[in-house]
Structure formats: C-alpha cells, structure tokens
Structure 1
Amino acid sequence: MKRRSLLQKLAVGAISLPFIGRSLDEYLPKESIAEWKGEFDLTKTQDEAFWKAFKKTHYDVSDKWINLENGYFGVQPKMVVDAYVESIKKVNRESSAYARRTFNQKDFSPVMDTLAKFSGAAREELLITRNATEALNILIQGIDFQPGDEVILNEQDYPSMIEAFEMLEKTKGIIIKRIALPMIPESDTQLVNLYQAAMTNKTRCILVTHLIHLTGQIMPVKAIADMARPKGVEVIVDAAHSFAHLDFKIPDLGCDFVGVNLHKWFSAPIGMGLMYVKKNRIKDLSPMFGDVGQREDNINKLGHFGTLSFPTLLTVPKAAEFNNMVTIPVKEARLRYLQNYWTKEIGGIANAELLTPTEAKRSCAIATFKLRNLDADEVINRLYDDFGVFTVKRNLPKNEKAIRVTPNLYSSTSDVDQLLEGILKLSKV
C-alpha cells in the first residue's frame, strides 16, 4: 500500500490491513514442532495469515496491550516456557543429587554443545554468564590495562559498559576517548574512519556495539576489527541485541572478545548470557572473580561466580530448536519487514522524525523516532493509554529523548498499524 493511501486510512481509523498471502483458514492447525519444521522460508516474510497462525501456536502473550518493547527481553515461546517449567520441577524434585551428579555428568554437555553449534564457536571458547553485562565486565576487567592506555567508546554504547571503563579510568588510570556516531551514517567507511581517526599509538582497546540499543543501528564490526587488528588494538564486541536477531556466527565478527545476551532474541529465560573468547586469547585475560584452580588457557577460570540457574540452562536446547525451526534468515527478514512497515511512513507524518537508518544492513527489528511537538514521556504515555501500544523512552546523546519501537515474531502489521495511528494523531496535538 502506498504511503499516502496508508496514512489516509490511518487518519480515518481504518487501521487493519488485509492479510498479505493466504487466509488464516488455509493454514491447518499445527500442534507439534515437527509439523512446523520446513514451513519457514523467505516467501512467508509478508504473509500475515501465516504469522497469525504461528503466534497462536507458539506464543501466549497478553492481549491487554500491544507490546512493541521487545528489546528489553525476549518473550519465550510456549515450547521454551514448557521446558523451563518442567526443568524447575525436575531440579526441585531431584534436588542437589541431580545438580551434583546428573546435571554435571549428563545434562550440561548438551547445553554447551548446543551453544557451540548455534554460535559457531568452539565449546572451549564459550562461558555461560548471567547476562551480557556480566560477560562484558569479565572481558573489560580481564584485560591488563596500564596507566595511560587509551580506550575508544562511542556515546551510544550501553551505559553499563561505559561505566565499566569509567571505573578503570579511576582505578587504573586508563584514558577514555569518546566519539560521536551519526544517527544515519553515509557508509561503513564513514563509521570505520571515525574510530580510526580517534586512534593513537596509545590506543589499547575499542568497544563496539554490534546493534545499538538506543536506535537499532547495526555497526560494521568486522570492518572496524580489520582496521584495528594490524595496529595491535583489541576490539570487544557488545552483541547483546544482535545474537539470534541477525544472521551471523560469532567468529564472523572477526573479534577475539564478545558478550551476548541469551534472554533477548535467543528466547531463553531471563538471567542468561554468553561470553566468547578466542581460544588462544584466554590466557591473556585475568579472572574478575577469584580463581586459582584452573589452567590459564581454560575459559572456566573466568566464570568462578557461583551457582547458575539449572532450570534456565536446561532450556537452551529447546530455545535453539525454536530458532532453528524458524531459521535465523527468516526471523531476521520478518523482523526487518515489520520495522520497515512502520518506519517508511514516518516521512509522511508531520513532526515525526526517524532516528534509525532503514537500509537492510544497518537495522533490523529495533527503530527509534521522536515527535517534535511532544515530550517523549508524553508520547509513550499517550501511546499506551490512548492506543494500547507499549513502547519505551531512550535517552540519546545531547540530552535528546526518543521512543524506541521493537516488534517480535508474534507481532503483526495490525499491531504496527495501531502504532502508526497513534503517532499520526499525536503528531497533530
């Protein structure tokens, strides 16, 4: 539907568009995962009837509001929730005998094998953490920084990671150099050059956020790493939002140190992250938590932080099965379609400004906008109270406030139609 036509329909309240593709009745109910396998391909990207049936089978989400804030954590599909509940019951029933014997001797190995296969990394290069922030802190604080070492950050990196370096600025005397990124970049070269221009012979490390949490912009991580590596500069990658969201394997990033969230797009229960260290670099990191019992080249020396949640870990194979059923290429294509569906209309709405690049390689599910005529808090509250759409405010550089929108696989074009209707009406207030 052309922009003007869509906006005219929104203006008169006709917010539900016809399904693209077959009708829902043409999709036979599928109760088992086996029945859904092989059903996902790129031709389904815009088929609303297909995704409506998919949602009905695989998700149990509230209908009290439309959740377009899926960047916080991922809603677990039913199969993962069921596995999680059964694992809680099992661990509680079998208690410490299970944890000390069966889990360690039998059940933990499939978890790690699954993560290795899904991530593309070797099992001995991976460490399960409680979230990406913990993983990245272990990496950041594990490097033997010396006074005067320079670290390059950009002002859109995740605040907790910036604070980790700010702590080292106080305790170890490192020097932080901050660069400003354009909201809508001209090219990968422009972005790489910004980091390169900030480098000196004292630069020790660059932090790069693969998919920026504020706006959804995708950074050219490998190009930055390829520029920095010949100069002996470490690149630490914050992949909290990109893992199982974009179609890549961890080694594809070309970096030795990566932190990941598993409770976002991988759809594991809340409280699970993943850390990657290239095998030959493990020995170069010092433990953040006290440990003297492991070999210096064993990644487990970095994970002496106590007991993890056994039921959470046990869901990993089921979460991977779900992602592999949908396939990451199809998942990425569907999420980008939903984002493009609403962002392409922003240019036709007075007072609305999109702050996310929409070129395919530069963004996916997440996008951010602002209304020049209303404060961001008011926009968020009005979208929720008046239109039943839940979003979140993000604080951008230079004290700019904006609204982040993040659909998920259970989202539909009718959901984002509701968002667009709200934006259109609020833009006229």
Structure 2
Amino acid sequence: MNYYNNRRSFIKKASALVGAFSINSLFHQLHAESWKEATKSFEGLSAQDLAANEDYWSVIQQGYSASSSPIIILNNGGVSPSPVVVQQAVERFNQMTNQGPSYFMWQILDQGRESLREGLAKLGGCSAEEIAINRNATEALVTVIYGLDLKKGDEVIGSTQDYPNMMQAWRQRAIREGIVYKQLTFDFPIENDEEIVEKYRKAITPKSKIIHLTHVINWNGQIMPVKKIARMAHEHGLEVIIDGAHSFGLLDFTIPELEGDYFGTSLHKYLSAPIGSGMLWIRKEKISKVWPLVCAGDPRSDNIRKFENLGTRSFPIEQGIGEALNFHNAIGTKRKEERIRYLKDYWAKKAKEIPGVQIQTSLKAEYSCALAGVSVAGLNPSDLSSILFNTYKIHTTSISLENIHCVRISPHVYTKLSDLDRLVEALGKIATKSKG
C-alpha cells in the first residue's frame, strides 16, 4: 500500500511542478517575497530613473549564477545564461521525465503547453491562437520562409545585414524555385528612419511580394523602423516577415503593433529562457496559407499548433520557459529595456572618449539598446576579441560581415558596473598599446 501511495504522491507533485503560472512556481518559492520587498523601496520611480539604481539591480543579479562567473560575459546577444530558477526548473523537469519518459513527457509536461502559450501571448500582446512554441528564431523564420507560396520571378527584399540562416534560406529558394532575392546594404549607424524606409521603398517593383526585416540588427545593434517599413510595404501590397531574435524580451513593444505579418524569435537571449527555446507568431488570418516545415495532418489548417509537430523534443526545456516568463514579468519589460540600455551607454560613452577607440553603434535611445559595436585602431575584430578574453577574461564576439567590422558587446541585467569598468579599462590599455 505504501508503494502505491508513494507513486500517487510523486505523480501529483510532478503535475504541480508544471504550474509555472501558479503559487507552486519555483519563482514564487524562491524570489517572490524578496523581490516584492525590494520593489517597495523604489515605488514611484520611473523605469529610466530605476535603471541607474544599483541597490535594486543587485537583487536581480543575485538571481543569476552567471553574475559570479569567472569570466565576464558580454555576449548575451549570442545566448544568455538562464536565471538559477530557470535552470532548476529544467533540471527538475528532466529528472521527472526520466522516471518514465513516455508517461511524464506526454501526460504531464505536454499538458503545460497551453498555459505557456497564453503566457507568451500575454507578453507579446497578441492572441494565444497566433503563437507556436519551438526551438529558436531560425526554426520559426525558416518555417515561414519555406512555407509561403511563391513562384518563379517573385521578388523578396532583404538586407545583407540580416541573419545568415535567413539569408541562406532565401537563397535556397532562389536556387531551387527561381524566386528573386534582392538584398539592400546599409551604412550603419543610421539615425534617420526615412532614409531606411525610402531605401526599401525604392527596391519595390511590381514583382515584389515580401520584405524580410530584422528588428534589431544582430551585428551592431541598430534598431530598425520596422513599423514604418511594414506600413509602407502593406501600402504596396507586400507581406512582411520580422526577425525579432534580438528584440523580444528586451524592447517594450507588442508584436501586432509592429504591423508585420510574421514574427520569429529566440527566447534564450534577452528573455533568458532555457537554451534551445523559441517562438513563432503568425497573424491569425495568415496561418492557413503557410505550409508547416514538418508534416502535419492538415497542412492548410488555420490552427497555429500545426507548426509544433516537431516529433520528440525537450519538454523540460519547453516548460522551463514558464519560469523565465515569471522572472521577466517580475522585473517588467520597460524596466529591463531601460536598465540594459543604461549599461550599454555606461561603457560605450566612456569608451568613445579613448583615443583610437570607435563606437560603431548609435547611442540615441531610439536606435540602440543592448548591443553595440566597438573597434580599436590597428586591430582587426578577431584580434581585439581574443585579447579581451585571453588577457582580461572578457567574453565578446567579433563581427566581420559586409561593411560591419567590430567587436560586439552585449550586457544583460545581471551584468555589474564593475564588469563594464573592467571592459573600459581593458580597451584603454589595448588602444594605448596598439598605437604605441
């Protein structure tokens, strides 16, 4: 009898673990009270004023194991570490799954997807019936790129500064089907929306069908005027695909207000969800026209879930997204955006005063947030990135693409000002040595 009762108790507890949006959530158990008390002290402060309050952000930093990493992580634009509570959730779900994968995956964890879908939709300001959960921005966007009906001669307008996987997907369609893939090139930073919009407008011809846009340029952090471009594109009868890999969970916006038709993102960047989690949004009336990337029973269905037919995948990672949402929502998108922009400005404004150091990103709030590019005269990006890591244990990423050549720096909410002081100090020493 004991054995039977123990099994029932375990299954009941396992079911409760899926409740990331209930009082049983790990976030509620570990952070809710302490964060609530910390927030009380700063009531009335605007997000911009709170951005520079180190007492408040020190509480947030404690939620990340990465805040005490032996290396300074300034490549959060690549992939961000998850908070401890998200790591613990994934570990618990994984342990639970391995008590009996075919039962706990399908009968327990899979039942948490609808509440997760609703949580993501709430953050995105859209309907849950427009959200599909998958593994990354590439999977989300390639689903749309390969899933739209296009014929030989149809034109797609993109940029040479879009993400490589998206460019390669369009090129493959061009090779196989004869569509025309046109790419624009920009000399960033640009602090004029109309200059960017006009360049896309001039590229449109009677054969143009789609504009592919990147919300935040991966290489140097330029924020693109996607709403203005989308509105212009619709006036000309084109559809718009938006790559939001570096904007969702960072910038304060709703997906529909961007006025695109399709939107894909990775959740393991600024949302700090488990590594290998992503999301696809398709405007409801467009769902039926997109073929799923992986086979579905009714490929012309208007049910967004047809894009989740991926076969066996990591349910622990998927359900860990819920705790990342709890963590993010407790901070608030606007607070996060202003804090991370403050961190970027903190180091970049100091670094730009160093002789031989150049910042290759606009420091105006409407044109950048987290990501910024830096270069040092006399050094190529790869060498600069190597010196920063080998000598100062500062992890960055070097960028050499088209006309963008820099080292990309991307802090997160767990980043300390002392880490950025070390970066500025390192840039000063490197620039001096390079010049001398």
Same fold (TM over 0.5): yes
Assess if the C-alpha contact under 8 Å between 2:67 and 2:415 holds in 1. Answer: no
TM-score normalized by the length of structure 1: 0.89
Residue number among 204, 215, 224 corresponding to 1:210 in the alignment: 215
Counterparts of 1:284 and 1:226, CA distance in 2: 21
Task: Give the aligned partner of residue 23 of structure 1.
Answer: none
Displacement, 1:57? 4.2
Assess if the C-alpha contact under 8 Å between 2:35 and 2:59 holds in 1. Answer: no
Task: Give the aligned partner of residue 12 of structure 1.
Answer: none
Assess if the C-alpha contact under 8 Å between 2:210 and 2:240 holds in 1. Answer: yes
Counterparts of 2:417 and 2:358, CA distance in 1: 20
Residues 287 and 90 from structure 1, CA distance in 2 versus in 1: closer, same or farther, beyond 3 angstroms? same
Residues 60 and 153 from structure 1, CA distance in 2 versus in 1: closer, same or farther, beyond 3 angstroms? closer
Displacement, 1:295? 5.4
Displacement, 1:301? 2.6
Residue number among 179, 186, 193 corresponding to 2:184 in the alignment: 179
**What are structure 2's unaligned runs of at least 5 residues?**
1-28
Residue number among 319, 337, 340 corresponding to 2:342 in the alignment: 337
1:301 aligns with 2:306: yes
Assess if the C-alpha contact under 8 Å between 1:211 and 1:239 holds in 2. Answer: yes
1:78 aligns with 2:84: yes
Percent of pairs identical after alignment?
35
Displacement, 1:31? 5.9
Assess if the C-alpha contact under 8 Å between 1:262 and 1:274 holds in 2. Answer: yes
Counterparts of 1:289 and 1:57, CA distance in 2: 37
TM-score normalized by the length of structure 2: 0.87
What residue identity is the alignment partner of 2:104? Y
What residue identity is the alignment partner of 1:318? E
Secondary structure of 1:368's match? strand
Task: Give the aligned partner of residue 189 of structure 1.
Answer: 194
1:36 aligns with 2:35: yes
Assess if the C-alpha contact under 8 Å between 2:394 and 2:423 holds in 1. Answer: yes
Counterparts of 1:315 and 1:305, CA distance in 2: 18
Residue number among 414, 420, 425 corresponding to 1:416 in the alignment: 420
Assess if the C-alpha contact under 8 Å between 2:227 and 2:260 holds in 1. Answer: yes
Counterparts of 1:189 and 1:341, CA distance in 2: 29
What residue identity is the alignment partner of 1:221? V
Residue number among 108, 118, 125 corresponding to 1:102 in the alignment: 108
Displacement, 1:383? 1.2
Counterparts of 2:86 and 2:298, CA distance in 1: 35
Aligned residues between the structures:
398
Task: Give the aligned partner of residue 262 of structure 1.
Answer: 267
Task: Give the aligned partner of residue 73 of structure 2.
Answer: 67
Secondary structure of 1:236's match? strand
Q: Over residues 64-118 of structure 1, what are the superposed CA-to-partner deviations in whole Å (9 max), with x where a residue is unaligned?
A: 22111111111111111111111111222242122232334x4222211211212
What residue identity is the alignment partner of 1:332? E
What residue identity is the alignment partner of 1:66? I
Displacement, 1:425? 1.3
Q: Over residues 258-300 of structure 1, what are the superposed CA-to-partner deviations in whole Å (9 max), with x where a residue is unaligned?
A: 0011111111111111001111011111222222346521222
Counterparts of 2:250 and 2:143, CA distance in 1: 23
Counterparts of 1:45 and 1:157, CA distance in 2: 30
Assess if the C-alpha contact under 8 Å between 2:109 and 2:319 holds in 1. Answer: no
Counterparts of 1:187 and 1:323, CA distance in 2: 31
Counterparts of 1:91 and 1:402, CA distance in 2: 43
**What are structure 1's unaligned runs of at least 5 residues?**
1-29
Q: How does 1:280-291 map to 2 (within 5 A)?
A: 280-291=285-296
RMSD of Structure 2 on Structure 1 (CA): 1.8
Residues 170 and 426 from structure 1, CA distance in 2 versus in 1: closer, same or farther, beyond 3 angstroms? same
Displacement, 1:192? 0.5
Residues 31 and 165 from structure 1, CA distance in 2 versus in 1: closer, same or farther, beyond 3 angstroms? closer
1:426 aligns with 2:425: no
Assess if the C-alpha contact under 8 Å between 2:265 and 2:278 holds in 1. Answer: yes
Q: Which runs of 4+ in 1 moved over 3 A?
A: 57-63, 292-295
Displacement, 1:318? 1.1
Task: Give the aligned partner of residue 13 of structure 2.
Answer: none
Displacement, 1:354? 1.3
Residue number among 168, 191, 201 corresponding to 2:173 in the alignment: 168
Assess if the C-alpha contact under 8 Å between 1:114 and 1:316 holds in 2. Answer: no
Residue number among 220, 238, 244 corresponding to 2:243 in the alignment: 238
Task: Give the aligned partner of residue 152 of structure 1.
Answer: 157
Residues 421 and 173 from structure 1, CA distance in 2 versus in 1: closer, same or farther, beyond 3 angstroms? same
Task: Give the aligned partner of residue 6 of structure 1.
Answer: none
Q: Over residues 152-207 of structure 1, what are the superposed CA-to-partner deviations in whole Å (9 max), with x where a residue is unaligned?
A: 11111001100000001101101111111121213111110110011111111111
Assess if the C-alpha contact under 8 Å between 2:191 and 2:367 holds in 1. Answer: no
What residue identity is the alignment partner of 1:366? L
Counterparts of 1:305 and 1:32, CA distance in 2: 34
